């Protein structure tokens, strides 16, 4: 793997549409995922909401590992395709170059310039979906998306999802510095 190992305690905002990777026998499966959030600072934990009918749900339970891959906007067709068809019907891994990092059962997409490897920590069973809590154990980034060693969303150009109009977007203009611009409104400093 030619990517740079970043700190595993990595924060990635906004929360873009991602591809959740799982090992499927000798190959891999990738599912489009909108329901992803960071849920703990240290250890670095994230949660993904996956419908119980999806093959991905079965494969996370089987392998107890998974990957989160951040596609750039030019991958939009492949991203949508992975959300339209199940790995039970088609080998979706054929759309990508698959590689592995530290875990043997968390397939990564080489074309995605940022990827995380996760170990399953817990499962919260909902009505139709399960919330899988994963610990990020490694993160990998292509040099081309880094600024001062950190992921730069302007360079990654990730995909965002809006509903109910169901569209993919790219990130727009910066409008203010976070934890900073609101200080003007503080009554005291
Ligand atoms: C934009 C988009 C976002 C999606 N987000 C989720 C999600 O967060 N959770 C989920 O369970 N399914 C989500 N889906 C649906 C799955 O990706 C889809 O049902 C997929 O075919 C399941 O694949 P699998 O059976 O190979 O696991 C999404 C689909 C699209 C197009």
Q: Which domains does the chain have, with CATH numbers?
A: 4-185 (2.30.110.10)
Q: How far is the CA of 177 from the centre of ligand 1 (A)?
A: 33
Residues of the chain with pLDDT under 70: 189
CB–CB of 16/70 below 8 Å?
yes
State the DSSP string of 54-100: SHHHHHHHHHSEEEEEE-BGGGHHHHHHHTTS-TTTS-GGGGS-EE-
Query: Which residues' Cβ are closer than 6 Å to ligand 1?
Result: 17, 29, 31-35, 49-51, 54-56, 80, 83, 85-88, 129, 161
What DSSP character marks residue 158?
B
Query: What CA–CA distance (Å, rounded) separates 142 from 114?
Result: 7
Q: How far is the CA of 148 from the centre of ligand 1 (A)?
A: 34
Say what the pLDDT of residue 189 is: 64
Query: What CA–CA distance (Å, rounded) separates 22 from 68?
Result: 9
The predicted-structure confidence for 89-106, as pLDDT tens digits, reads as follows: 999 999 999 999 999 999
């Amino acid at each position: 793997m030619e990517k740079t190992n970043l700190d595993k305690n990595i924060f990635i905002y906004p929360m873009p549409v991602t591809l959740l990777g799982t090992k499927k026998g000798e190959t891999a499966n990738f599912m489009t995922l909108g329901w992803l959030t960071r849920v703990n600072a240290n250890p670095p934990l994230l949660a993904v909401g996956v419908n119980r009918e999806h093959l991905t749900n079965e494969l996370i339970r089987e392998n107890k590992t998974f990957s989160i891959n951040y596609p750039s906007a030019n991958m939009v067709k492949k991203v949508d395709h992975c959300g339209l068809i199940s790995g039970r019907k088609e080998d979706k891994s054929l759309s990508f170059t698959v590689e592995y990092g530290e875990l043997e059962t968390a397939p990564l997409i080489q074309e995605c310039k940022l990827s995380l490897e996760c170990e399953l920590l817990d499962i919260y069973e909902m009505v139709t979906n399960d919330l899988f809590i994963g610990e990020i154990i490694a993160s990998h980034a292509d040099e081309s998306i880094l600024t001062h060693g950190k992921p730069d969303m302007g360079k990654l150009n990730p995909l965002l999802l809006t509903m109910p109009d169901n569209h993919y977007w790219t990130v727009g203009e910066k409008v203010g510095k976070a934890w900073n611009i609101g200080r003007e409104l503080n009554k005291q400093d």
